[in-house]
A and B are shown apart, each in its own frame.
Chain A
Amino acid sequence: MPASRIDWNSLLKRQEAAFAAANERSLDPGQEQAVLRERAVRLAVRPPEPESGETVDCLEFLLSGESYAIELCYITETLPLTDFTPLFCTPAFVLGIVNVRGRIVSILDLRRFFELASVGLSDLNRVIVVGNGSMEFGVLADSVAGMRSLKAQELLPPPDAFTGIREEFLAGVTADRLALLDMGKIMSDPRIVVHEEVS
């Protein structure tokens, strides 16, 4: 009778190796120390002096595949969009209202506010709460990318593709197609204030 073609010994070895890998600590102490040391070295490096010129700290976020940024000074916090209440008799750009730790904040859908003709798909699971002391509202985002410092020189005027109301509220565009929104202008714009009485 021919011997079985299955090499049971090698199989058993592989399994033991797998079990050992599962049981052993993720890194041995020496390795761990090495990683920490590397990280410390990386952190210890003095960041290069910022070049002369003004920088703008802003929060970058994605909306329908496009990157936008809002200056940090306007941002209060970011939230996951868990639950919101739609409001009747409001313009299309007002998605609804949401309760943020006791405060009622209305949510603005920038895509509708910018009157983009075709509204693409969106995950719509993040809200960036913005405010300037007098008014406060949430801006809808697919996801939040993170903090970013933009140099004033990097900002370019909006290209021809940006037309209409969008062009009006853009502070500038970077080379990697990041559009910086002029939040002060948006907040002071009378169109954003909804005052409608329903009899």
Chain B
Amino acid sequence: MFVCDDENQIHRDAKNGGSMLNRLKIRSRLIAGFGSIVLFLILTGALSLKNLDAQGELLSRFYDHPFTVTNAIHLVDAHIIRMHRGMKDVVLYADDRDDMEASLADIEASERIVYRELAVARERFLGDKGKIDQIKESMDQWKPVRARTIELVRQGKIAEAVAFHKGYARKMVTRIDTQVNDVLKFSNGKAESFVQEARNNERLTFAVTAILVALAGILAAATAFAITASITRPLDQAVKAADQLSQGDLSVEIDSSSPDELGQLLRTMGKMVQSLQRMGATANQIALGDLDTDVVPISERDVFGIAMSNMVASLRRLAASADRIAAGDLTIDVLPASSKDRLGNSFSVMTRNLRELSLEIAEVVNVLSGSATEIMTTVSELASSSAQTATSIAETNATVQEIRQTTDLTSQKSRQVYESAHRSVQVAKAGTESVSSAIGGMQGIDERMGFIADRIVNLSEQSQAIGEIIATVADLAEQSNLLAVNAAIEAAKAGEHGKGFAVVAQEVKNLATQSKQATSQVRGIINQIQKATTAAVLATEQGSKAVEAGVRQSSEAGESIRLLSASIEDSSNATLQIVTSTQEQAIGMDQIAIAIQSINQASDQNVEGSRQIEAAARNLYELNQKLQKLVSGYKVA
């Protein structure tokens, strides 16, 4: 019943957009869904178990009754047949006592089994138990019959015994057999009915279990669908809203009355969106320049709100600074909030620049003021000088007449100059020729100088040879001196006879001494000669250099003469031009006279213009006064 209810409810919930399901929390929703499935499964299992139990019971009953009874009756039947055959053996083999005794023992054993089985059958038999009692009774009746037969056999009355057995005993056995068959038939019928019952029961169980499994499947699918739907729909909404928010679109509307977690999430998002919208509106106001709004952070950890409020505060500060600047107060210093504060930095730079600018303007205005004054004085000077100009022009006119006369004179003079220049050119040409011949002569001198130097060096070498000879002569003199000494010694040894020889020796010695002195004199002279030759060589070298310089200077002179001739030619041409231009000058002078007339008129206009300039300068001065007033409106320090 509960299962049915639960299922219906889920179906209804799914159809009504999960209004009731949504009232539950997701956890309870999940628990309810899965719980119902588990419950259903347990129920199905229990029912199946119960049916299995019934089936088992049926089987055990089937085993306990029809099957056991049939078995027992079959045993009874078999052992009765055995007993009957034993009796037959007894009758047939009456001669052999041992065989007979064995058959008798066999019969007794079978009889015991028959009674035992009968007792079992009686206990389990489901039909009329009287039938079993009848069998037992027949068995009891059969016993004396068998005893009579055995008696007859023992007495040796075998023919009688056979007759008895064939007649009475066979009837007994046939009766028992029919009774047994009767019971067996009943028992078999009973077993068949049991089988039928079990088959019915099985079919029922299968049907019930199949239905329950199908129901459980449907239930699980429905629950899963409903729960998934109830979770994904709000999630989709949240994702869509978050997507819009991430695009910066704050126009999302989030509405949820669901009490579950997703509902809470959506409501929180809604709050966030509202706060963002508020912030957006405030930012818009700020963007429009409205700084009167107060931004109150939602909490202490509202980074965005705090930042906005800081921004507003800093903007207000800047606005206040800007107000003061607007009022002309440039003394303020705007401190930037950080090194990256572009606005603050720009403001700071701007105020600084404005300060410098206004200072510069003040300076410029001062300069301008000075200039304006100067212009005014200059203009008045200009006016007076215009008047002077007018008188000067009259003087100029007179001067122009004088110049005209002078120009005629100039024309004559320049013609004379032209002729003399022409003669100068001829002279310069002659000069150039002489210079080049002088250069040739100089080069000849240079060659001679080289020759002289060579000769002098030769002489020096020869004097060197003389020096060597002189050295030899000195050596000879020395040796002669020594020889003279030796001769003197020898003479002294000769005593009185050697006296004359001693004189000669002395004379030789004197000669040697004189030659030695002469050689030293010659050596001195040679030294002087060598010095002189060195000086001469140096002198020739200097002479050669002087010649070189002379060549250079004469070529320079030649060049100068050439240039001179060229320039004289130029000046001759120029004088020719002067002649023509002085004629033009005469014409020009006439034109100047006319021009001076025009200048006179222009100077009159000048006087008028300077008056106008004076008025303009006054205006400039007044303008400057105003500028000064304006500039002084800016406080700088």
Contacts and interface: CB of A to CB of B under 8 A. Distances in A.
Interface of A: 43, 57, 59, 72-73, 75-80, 126, 144, 146-147
B470 interface: no
A75 B489 contact: yes
Given A78-B482, A80-B482, A146 B488 contact: yes
B118 to A, nearest CB: 174
Prevailing SS type, chain A contact patch: strand
B482 A147 contact: no
10 contacts: A72-B493, A75-B489, A77-B486, A78-B485, A78-B486, A78-B489, A126-B482, A144-B481, A144-B485, A147-B485
Contact of A147 (B478, B479, B506): B506
A78 B485 CA distance: 7
A79 B482 CA distance: 7
A57 B492 contact: yes
Contact of B489 (A43, A72, A80, A126): A72
B587 interface: no
Contacts of B488: 146-147
Interface string B336-364: 00000000000000000000000000000
Interface string B115-139: 0000000000000000000000000
Of the listed residues A59, A144, A146, the one surrounded by the most CB atoms of chain B closer than 10 A to its CB is A146
Contacts of A72: 489, 492-493
B546 to A, nearest CB: 13
A72 B488 CA distance: 9
Interface in B476-515: 478-479, 481-482, 485-486, 488-489, 492-493, 502-503, 506, 509
A78 B492 CA distance: 14
A144 B493 CA distance: 18
B514 to A, nearest CB: 12
A146 B488 CA distance: 9
B353 to A, nearest CB: 84
B111 to A, nearest CB: 174
Of the listed residues B478, B485, B493, B502, the one surrounded by the most CB atoms of chain A closer than 10 A to its CB is B485
A147 B481 CA distance: 12
Contacts of B478: 80
Contacts of A80: 478-479, 482
Contacts of B509: 146
A57 B509 CA distance: 17
A103 to B, nearest CB: 15
Contacts of B485: 59, 78, 144, 146-147
A57 B502 CA distance: 12
A148 B367 CA distance: 119
Nearest to A76: B489
Given A144-B482, A146-B509, A77 B489 contact: yes
A73 B490 CA distance: 10
A144 B512 CA distance: 13
Nearest to A58: B492
A75 B509 CA distance: 18
A72 B493 CA distance: 8
Contacts of A73: 493
A79 B479 CA distance: 9
Contacts of A144: 481-482, 485
Nearest to A145: B485
B338 to A, nearest CB: 98
Contacts of A147: 485, 488-489, 492, 502, 506
